[in-house]
Amino acid sequence: MLSKSCEYALKSILYITKHSKNEVRVGAKNISDDLGIPYHFAAKLLQILAKADIISSQKGPNGGFFLTEENLKHSLADVVRAIDGNGIFVNCILGLKTCSEIRPCPLHVEFQDIKKKITRGFEDTRLDEFQEKLLSGDYYLSNLK
């Protein structure tokens, strides 16, 4: 459902979310190493997220990626849209261009409610909801430290 790029972006932003609680800025290399994401791939995704104002960045010796209070208000849907676009929320499950209520594919009716629930779940879940969960130690991302 989500592209590999989007999976990596979500993992990266959750990593940053955890570290932003203590106002720590993390570099693309740390994210890449700790999450097992190819460095250049991680760097490109982080640039996209920063350009979309979903994460913040600072250059220099104390630089890196971090989340402000404003960034933490973003939903998971904002992250998905920045990387994959709106397709997961609106496109036909079979990828048909002509699928609609008037001319549905064989799976249209069965998956319409599922897509609505997925959309609502991504829209209603904000980044700030994950800080305490990640700091509790009860949740993990790869070999997240």
Residue 21 within a domain:
yes
Name 61's Cβ contacts closer than 8 Å, sequence gap at least 6.
none
In the beta sheet, which residues pair with residue 64? 58
What is the spatial distance between Cα 1 and Cα 5, in angstroms, rounded to a whole number? 11
Indicate whether 111 belongs to any domain: yes
pTM of the model: 0.87
Identify the CATH number of the domain in which residue 122 sits. Answer: 1.10.10.10
Note down the domain range covering 80: 4-136
Number of domains in the chain: 1
pLDDT of the chain, 145 residues: tens digit per residue: 789 999 999 999 999 998 887 778 999 999 999 999 999 999 999 999 999 999 999 998 888 999 999 999 999 999 999 999 999 998 998 989 989 889 999 999 999 999 999 999 999 999 988 877 777 777 776 654 4
Report d(CA 30, CA 120) in Å as an integer.
Answer: 32
Q: Is residue 20 part of a domain?
A: yes
Residue 142 lies inside a defined structural domain of this protein: no
In a domain, 48, yes or no: yes
Residue 75's alpha-carbon distances to 7, 42, 60, 130, in angstroms, are: 15, 20, 28, 11
Q: Residue 144 domain-assigned?
A: no
Residue 129 lies in a domain: yes
45 falls within a domain = yes
